[in-house]
A and B are shown apart, each in its own frame.
Chain A
Amino acid sequence: MQYAILCYHDEKVTCAWSKEQDDAVMAKLGGVMDRLTRQGKLGPVARLLPTTAATTLRKDREQPIVIDGPFAETKEQLLGFYIVDCQSLEEALDIARELGQSNPGGAYEIRPVGVFFPGKTA
């Protein structure tokens, strides 16, 4: 089963990390990702730019409207995601716990993937 591990954190806080802190986080995550890759369990991974760069298309009306900013104003923002291939939810949770050790705060939503299309960009 594939799971998406969706990373939520207060982006004001992650933007306040020093460069050293950010680098340390990325290095730790990189270590976990390397292992998962070797085990053939890691799918696509993305780190998203701040929600201030986001645009939302609301299509709940006849003419969809474009709104500046993220879909929802929340205390924690979706900052990125991992796709992992695991035997069980327990295993996905273990991976999330391990990723979570790179920095305190925030939350991971572990969500089973229904349809997966790997895609291809130039």
Chain B
Amino acid sequence: MSDTNWISAVLTAARPQAVAALLRYFRDLDTAEEAFQEACLRALKAWPANGPPRDAAAWLIMVGKNSAIDAVRRQRRLQPLPPDELISDLSDAEAELADRVDEADYRDDILRLLFVCCHKELPATQQIALALRIVSGLSVRQIANAFLVSEAAMEQRITRAKARVAAAQVPFEAPGAIERAERLGVVAAMVYLVFNEGYTTNVAEQGARAPLCEEAIRLGRLLLRLFPTEPEIMALTALLLLQHARADARFDADGMAVVLEEQDRSRWNSKLIAEGLALVEKALRHRRPGPYQVQAAIAALHARAARFEDTNWDEIDLLYGTLERMQPSPVVTLNRAVAVLMTRGPADALAMIEPLAGKLGGYFYFHGARGAFLKKLGRAEEARVAFDRAIALANTPAEAAHIRRQIDRLAASVELQPDTIGGARP
């Protein structure tokens, strides 16, 4: 393995902290990114000989800062009116740098960097793209591949998002406690979106999109290192780990989606599950419940069941009930109905979702679930109509194929697609 590969891991690890610090110095995303790029180029020249410095982030910040100052000085010779405030801002920072080495000290910087990517005027997909580009350091091509669009289209999307962020006021003052908590909530939601974007139901896309899930987990762990006592951040990271642990089991050799009930649990990633369960346990000790904790607890119950038959559906039903109260949503109720099917039977499950027809009439999973419940009740003809409706609404060929199999096996047992994140889908 070449040195470059190892160095790139060090650069990736240092990136959020370094770009965040450079953003604070320069107060401009493009300048910060360019400075970091320049520092990386110099690292690739300097590090192979001596190995990375012990504090790679501090090295990159210092070198990036100096290279950007050089660039400003060069411009200064050409431009009669130099941006003085930019220069003076930097001289303060230098003395400060020596003491600021720990990532935890950069907490507000890194949170700010993540937060500017979540600007509320940006549509969700642009927030995700921006975060992956700026914080994770994925190339435009990698992001384009993950979003299944052309590189040119993604380049344009990111440029537009950056312009929008630049036009907005980036909040540089240190946030108060309440503001910090608000920012953290917004950023956590973005990390969740990154994961969902990668959590595809289509095997053809899985390879391309898996990096999104891995980046989301990395961002979750980053948030957790910055806020090690926040139960909701523990739970968010746990939720992502527990969902991602099933990645290899979610599709069969032919690329068909495999529902939770039929997954080969020996293919679940036990290491990710162990980490997820540890985080759930830590989070619940705080006795400060929140929606991510409830969802992670549900995911943990699935992960703990050695076989599908061992799943504790009563507990899952209760937890969805809690989630319904915290975050009322027809999708949460739909997910709860699956647990109700297991605990109280198809009649109760169907009764629970019938009132949702108005809100979820255009939702694939609603009709898939309804068809499955009707099938269980022996109402084959109505089930067929519901399944046909689901096929018409399927987002991917895999979803449609999955429902077609249901129709083929109208006599078999119920199969909604419980392998979604509770309430995650719109």
Give A residues with C-beta under 8 Å from B. 10, 12-18, 21, 24, 49-53, 55, 66-69, 73, 75, 103-105
Report A8 CB to chain B, min CB distance, Å.
11
- Contact of A16 (CB < 8 Å), options: B9, B228, B278: B9
- Contact of B275 (CB < 8 Å), options: A10, A50, A67, A104: A50
* B352 proximal to A (CB < 8 A): no
Total of A-B residue pairs, C-beta within 8 Å: 70
The answer to whether B9 and A17 touch across the interface, beta carbons within 8 angstroms, is yes
Chain B residues with CB under 8 A of A103: 6
Report the bound CA distance from A51 to B13 in whole Å. 15
Report the bound CA distance from A73 to B3 in whole Å. 28
Chain A residues with CB under 8 A of B282: 53, 55, 68
Report the bound CA distance from A12 to B110 in whole Å. 14
The answer to whether B104 and A53 touch across the interface, beta carbons within 8 angstroms, is no
Report the bound CA distance from A12 to B57 in whole Å. 11
Report the bound CA distance from A49 to B1 in whole Å. 25
Assuming A49-B275, A50-B275, A75-B54, what are 11 further A-B pairs, CB within 8 angstroms?
A15-B221, A16-B10, A21-B1, A51-B225, A55-B282, A73-B104, A75-B55, A75-B102, A104-B6, A105-B6, A105-B52
Chain B residues with CB under 8 A of A105: 6, 10, 51-52
- Contact of B1 (CB < 8 Å), options: A24, A55, A75: A24
* B79 proximal to A (CB < 8 A): no
Chain A residues with CB under 8 A of B101: 75
Report the bound CA distance from A78 to B54 in whole Å. 16
The answer to whether A13 and B229 touch across the interface, beta carbons within 8 angstroms, is no
Residue of B nearest to A24 (CB): B1
Report the bound CA distance from A8 to B149 in whole Å. 41
Report the bound CA distance from A103 to B3 in whole Å. 10
Beyond A16-B13, A55-B282, is A68–B228 a contact (Cβ under 8 Å)? yes
- Contact of B221 (CB < 8 Å), options: A50, A66, A73, A104: A50
The answer to whether B13 and A15 touch across the interface, beta carbons within 8 angstroms, is yes
Chain A residues with CB under 8 A of B237: 52
Report the bound CA distance from A21 to B1 in whole Å. 8
- Looking at A12, A13, A17, A73, the one whose CB has the most chain B CB atoms below 10 A away is A12
Chain B residues with CB under 8 A of A15: 13, 218, 221
- Contact of A49 (CB < 8 Å), options: B3, B225, B278: B278
Chain A residues with CB under 8 A of B5: 18, 21
* B224 proximal to A (CB < 8 A): yes
* B285 proximal to A (CB < 8 A): yes
Report B325 CB to chain A, min CB distance, Å.
27
* B274 proximal to A (CB < 8 A): yes
Chain A residues with CB under 8 A of B104: 73
Residue of A nearest to B237 (CB): A52
Jot down 17 A-B pairs with beta carbons below 8 A, ordered by A: A10-B13, A12-B14, A12-B225, A13-B9, A13-B56, A15-B218, A15-B221, A16-B10, A16-B13, A21-B9, A49-B278, A51-B225, A52-B225, A52-B279, A53-B278, A75-B55, A105-B52
The answer to whether A12 and B6 touch across the interface, beta carbons within 8 angstroms, is no
Chain B residues with CB under 8 A of A49: 271, 274-275, 278
Report the bound CA distance from A35 to B258 in whole Å. 41
Chain B residues with CB under 8 A of A75: 54-55, 101-102
Residue of A nearest to B137 (CB): A16
Report the bound CA distance from A105 to B47 in whole Å. 12
Chain A residues with CB under 8 A of B311: none
Report the bound CA distance from A34 to B95 in whole Å. 50
Report the bound CA distance from A50 to B12 in whole Å. 17
CB-based closest 9 A-B pairs? A12-B13, A69-B228, A16-B12, A16-B9, A53-B278, A52-B224, A13-B13, A16-B13, A68-B229
Report A74 CB to chain B, min CB distance, Å.
9
Chain A residues with CB under 8 A of B10: 10, 13, 16, 105
Report the bound CA distance from A75 to B104 in whole Å. 11
Please, what's the 1-or-0 string for B67-90, where 1 marks a CB less than 8 Å from any CB in chain A? 000000000000000000000000
Report the bound CA distance from A10 to B10 in whole Å. 9
Chain A residues with CB under 8 A of B218: 15-16
Report A22 CB to chain B, min CB distance, Å.
10
Chain A residues with CB under 8 A of B228: 52, 68-69
Report the bound CA distance from A52 to B228 in whole Å. 7
Residue of A nearest to B54 (CB): A75
